[in-house]
Structures are given as C-alpha cells and as structure tokens.
DNA sequence: GTGGTCTAGACCACA
DNA sequence: GTGGTCTAGACCACG
C-alpha cells in the first residue's frame, strides 16, 4: 500500500491520504485487521506534517473504516452496512455531479457506464 | 428560480450558488436564453456580498453554462458536449465516492439504482 | 460589408465593430473613399446603442483609417505608413502573446507559420 | 524577478502581474520549481491589494503555468504543449493586430521580422 | 505562514 | 444599470 501525494493538486493532503486508504480498502488490498503505518512513519515517509496524517486517520475512524488504539496503532476495521444517513450523504455528494453531467448533455446510460467503469476498476468485489 | 443559502454549511457560498444554478439547468427550469438576476440583485436578495455572486457566475461562465454581457447581465447559454478532459474530471470526482460506497458494502446494482434515482429526479431529460 | 456582433463575447461591442472594419480594410473589401453606414443606421442594423458605434468610429478616426465629416458622413481614408510609435504599440501588444506562446512550447517557426496563415487570410496584399 | 506596475496604464493591475510572470517564464528567468513570492508579500511589495495578486496567480494556475500549495505557496510548474483551443485563442488575439498592421501598409516580411525580434528578445529558447 | 473565502465599501468602462 | 477592478479590512482551513 503506497500513498502518493500530489502536492500540486487542489485537494487537501489529508484528503488525498484518506481517499487513497479508502480506495485501498475498496480494492481489497487493505483487509480487516491489516495495520496501517504509524502516524509518525507515514508522515515522514510522504514528507508531510504529522497532524496532517492524524487528521486523515481521524476522519477514517469517524467513517467506521479504521480503528485506532495505543497497543496496535491504526488498523483496518470496516463496519459494513450503510444507513439512511449515509445514503443522504451520498446523494448530497452525487447530486451536483450528476447535474453537471446532465448540463453537459450526458445521458443516463453514459453516466451509468461511467459509474460501472469506476466500480469495476475496484475489482468488482460485491461481497456476495 | 430561488436560491437558498445554508450559511452553516461547509460548502462555500459561491459554490452553493453555482450548484443550485447547475441543478436548475439540469432540471430544465433554467433554459437557454433565460436571464439570471444581476449580480447585485441576487447578492442583496440572498444576503451576501456582490463578489461572492460574481465568483459563482464567473465559474459558470468558465464551465460554458452561462454568458454574460453588460447590457442584459447574465443568462443561460449552455454549450453542450463533453470532451475527454471533462470525463477525467468526472472520474476524479466520482472515484472516491464510489470507493466509499464499496467500503460500506454497497454493490453495483444498488449504486446504479442510486444514480438513476438522482438522474431521474432531474426529469430524466436526456436530449433536447 | 457585414458587421456581426457576438453578444456573448468578452470583447466590448465597440471593439468588435472597430476590428471588423479594420479587417474589412485589410481584406481589401473596404477601399479608400468607400463610405461607411451612418452611425444611426449601423447602430439600428446591429441593434446596439448609437454611442457604441460612435465610439468605434472615433477610434478608427484616431487610428487614421477613416475620416468623418458632416457632408459625407464616415468614409475610409487610410493614411498608410507607420512610425516608431506605431511599432512600439505593436510590440507592446505582441509581446505578451509571444511570451505566452513560448511558455506553451511553441517554437519560432511554428509561430511564424501561424502569423503567415493569418496574414495570408487577408489576401496577402502587400502593396508592392 | 521584479514586478513593476504602471498604475496609469489601462491594463488591469492583475493582468500586468500575470504578463510579467509569463514573460519571466518565457525569458527563462523563472524556471520550473522556482517559487513565487507569497500573495501577501508580492502585494505589499508592489503596493496593491492581496486580491489583485491572488487573481493574477489564479489565472496563471488556470493557464497551467504555476501551481499553488499551502505549504510552499506558488511556484512555477509549466505544463507545455498546446492544443487546438490554444491555437484558436492565439488566432483570435493575433488577427486584429495583423489586420491593423496590414492597414498601415506593413508587409509580410516586415511583420515576420517584428515577430522574430520579439521572439528572440526572450532568448530564442525553443526547446528545453 | 499559506491561500481561500467573505464583507462593505468604491470607482470605472460599457451600453 | 451592468459587470469588472480594486481596496482594506476579517476569519478560516490547511500544513
């Protein structure tokens, strides 16, 4: 699991870290129980401040994807299953993107095919 | 066309304005040629500063959704058709969201159904 | 000689009028002595305010390309020959454009070929 | 790298800043990785408001000439290579200037020599 | 310390 | 009356 920061990106660094770990989990590279590097190690490895990594880990914990304790450090602990709140959040994030696509003339099938392409790029693991 | 700002939101005000106009276009409420309120009018109506509205209008212009002239102010002028760059941008925005959904155990069909729900909420207009 | 205004352009209308007349002269469509429409007529023809046309005509007069008098209205009266001041003005306008081209990796031949293409699009009349 | 503002010029201040940085890059004085002064430093140095500098930096970012991050501020990051859209933009900017030159009796060789003079004033660096 | 966002004013060019 | 530019402040997120 490598984390690669694009310092020219507009996306905050802590969010790049967060997203790459999320994507690692989605891809199946990071499985429940796998441990993440310590905050200090990861920070020095990618050359950022410790509290930038800490912020990323914190949000991952809040999302229910990792757990942190003093003994084992941070490790993957995915609590699967989504509730209505999660769906609302997804809709809020997706709505402006879908609207933009519609404005630019994308039709439903094109959009779905795009989503499928992205979904399949994660290995298509659907837990069934 | 009402614009409603949530001043407690993390989303910048200018982006809320931008998104609501984009969604208005996607919904078909705003059609080519329809004029938007003047920067100052909209600003005073929703209780924000002129520059905040100006920034939103400017980005909409850059996206090719509105045009601006000094006589008539801003009006809808959608240049449809998306290029590869637009698709890349879409993928970059969608990838972390799809990854999050996968982590939470959402499968491909559920995700597609969610997208379809959002798409259809705009009226499902695919060509015009 | 038709004048066609793009109301969505960022270029001021009076400048569009000015440029199209300049280009008409460069193309040889407008020759010395040819008369231009009256300010009132041109304004109503293209649907703009009279003083917008007046401003365009005024600048053309200042450039030494047209003359205006009460008897004949406005007509083409090109005073050829450029002085050092004109060259300085040209350099000031061209410098940032050339710099931009260099930044984007355009080389000298490509730039010259572009200039030649534009020059030839005016008929390549060189008065010799 | 000095930036010198002419407060009496018709050219907006933010555009003067932008152009001088572009010309610095074209001249090779500003190379990839070189950092620019922070928005506030440059603003106070040349005696203008922060926002004015910010607007210049923003447009340079949009042009793909600089990158910005919160740790190190802005620095040169030129993405070379121009597309058709860039060429169209160049043509739109150059056409009225070439037309003006033709009206004043400048011939093709004179114009090309002028362009070459300007190009060479940047050091004639064509590839690197 | 950096840029990003926002406010409340002002003046100007364009139409 | 419209947007465009500019100023002089302020607060916030990121690092």
pLDDT in tens, B41-59: 999 999 999 999 999 999 9
Q: Distance (Å, rounded) from C-alpha A46 to C-alpha A3?
A: 7
**All residues at 6 or more sequence positions from C70 whose CB lies less than 8 Å from its CB, including other chains:** none
Residue C70, pLDDT score: 84
Instruction: Tell me which of C123 and D1 has the higher pLDDT.
Output: C123
For the residues D111-126, what does the mean pLDDT come to? 88
Residue C124, pLDDT score: 57
Model confidence pLDDT, tens digit, residues B43-101: 999 999 999 999 999 999 999 999 998 888 999 999 999 999 899 999 999 999 999 99
User: Does the residue B7 lie in any domain?
Assistant: no
Mutate to test the interface with B, among A94, A113, A124 (most CBs of B within 10 A): A94
Instruction: Tell me which of B128 and D81 has the higher pLDDT.
Output: D81
Model confidence pLDDT, tens digit, residues A20-72: 999 999 999 999 999 999 999 999 999 999 999 999 999 999 999 999 988 88
Helix (H) or strand (E) segment spanning residue C67:
strand C66-69
Nucleic chain F contacts, Cβ below 7 Å: A 12-15, 48-49, 51-52, 55; B 38-41, 50-51, 54, 57-58, 68, 70-71, 73-74; D 12-15, 47-52, 55, 69-71
User: Does the residue C2 lie in any domain?
Assistant: no
Residue A124, pLDDT score: 58
3-state secondary structure of A35: strand
Report whether pLDDT(C78) > 50: yes
> D19 contacts in C (CB within 8 Å)?
96, 99
Cβ-count burial B41-58 (b if 16+ within 10 Å, e if not): ebbeebebeeebbbbbbb
Q: How many CB atoms lie within 10 A of CB D120?
A: 11
Residue B10: band (very low, low, confident or very high) from pLDDT cuts 50, 70, 90:
very high
Q: Which nucleotide's C1' sits nearest to the alpha carbon of B72?
A: F2
User: Does the residue A4 lie in any domain?
Assistant: no
Report whether pLDDT(C128) > 50: no
User: Does the residue D127 lie in any domain?
Assistant: no
SS3 per-residue string spanning chain B: CCCCCCCCCCCCHHHHHHHHHHHHHHHCCCCCCCECCCHHHHHHHHCCCHHHHHHHHHHHHHCCCEEEECCCEEEECCCCCCCHHHHHHHHHHHHHHHHHHHHCCCCHHHHHHHHHHHHHHCCCCCCC
> C81 contacts in D (CB within 8 Å)?
104-105
The answer to whether strand E lies under 7 Å from the CB of residue B80 is no
User: Does the residue A128 lie in any domain?
Assistant: no
Report whether pLDDT(D126) > 70: no
- Span CA (B25) to C1' (E14), Å: 28
Which chains are adjacent to chain B, needing at least 3 Cβ pairs under 8 Å?
Answer: A, C
Q: Are residues D64 and D89 in the same domain?
A: no
Q: Are residues A71 and A90 in the same domain?
A: no
Domain count, chain D: 2
Q: Are residues B62 and B104 in the same domain?
A: no
Q: Are residues D52 and D95 in the same domain?
A: no
User: Does the residue B105 lie in any domain?
Assistant: yes
Q: What is the DSSP letter of D35?
A: B
What share of chain D in percent tops pLDDT 90?
Answer: 90
User: Does the residue D100 lie in any domain?
Assistant: yes
Residue B113, pLDDT score: 97
Instruction: Tell me which of B1 and D23 has the higher pLDDT.
Output: D23
Q: What is the DSSP letter of C35?
A: B
Helix (H) or strand (E) segment spanning residue C111:
helix C108-120
- Exposed / middle / buried, residue B104 (Cβ in 10 Å: 0-12, 13-18, 19+): buried
CB-based contact B26 A116, cutoff 8 Å: no
User: Does the residue C8 lie in any domain?
Assistant: no
Q: Distance (Å, rounded) from C-alpha D107 to C-alpha A24?
A: 63
For the residues C21-33, what does the mean pLDDT come to? 96
Closest to C103 (Cβ–Cβ): which among D78, D111, D118? D78
Q: Are residues C20 and C64 in the same domain?
A: yes
Domain that holds residue C70: 13-76
Which chains are adjacent to chain A, needing at least 3 Cβ pairs under 8 Å?
Answer: B, D
CB-based contact C105 D80, cutoff 8 Å: yes
| Token pair for D116 | 């070459």
Give the closest-approach CA distance of D30 to chain C in angstroms: 11
User: Average pLDDT, whole number, for chain A?
Assistant: 93
Instruction: Tell me which of B123 and B39 has the higher pLDDT.
Output: B39
Residue D124: band (very low, low, confident or very high) from pLDDT cuts 50, 70, 90:
low
Give the closest-approach CA distance of B118 to chain C in angstroms: 32
Q: Are residues C26 and C51 in the same domain?
A: yes
Residue D2, pLDDT score: 86
The answer to whether strand E lies under 7 Å from the CB of residue B12 is yes
Residue B124, pLDDT score: 58
Residue C43: band (very low, low, confident or very high) from pLDDT cuts 50, 70, 90:
very high
Q: Which nucleotide's C1' sits nearest to the alpha carbon of B35?
A: F2
Interface A:C, ≥3 CB–CB pairs < 8 Å? no
Residue A4, pLDDT score: 95
């Amino acid at each position: 699991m490598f984390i690669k920061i694009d310092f020219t990106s507009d996306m905050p660094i802590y969010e790049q870290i967060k997203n790459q770990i999320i994507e690692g989990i989605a891809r199946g590279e990071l499985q429940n129980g796998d441990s993440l590097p310590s905050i200090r190690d990861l920070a020095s490895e990618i050359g950022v401040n410790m509290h930038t990594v800490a912020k990323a880990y914190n949000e991952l914990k809040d999302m229910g994807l990792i757990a942190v304790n003093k003994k084992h450090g941070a490790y993957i602990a995915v609590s699967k299953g989504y509730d209505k709140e999660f769906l609302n959040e997804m809709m809020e994030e997706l709505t402006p993107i879908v609207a933009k696509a519609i404005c630019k003339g994308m039709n439903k099938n094109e959009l779905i095919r795009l989503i499928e392409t992205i979904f399949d790029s994660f290995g298509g693991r659907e837990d069934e």
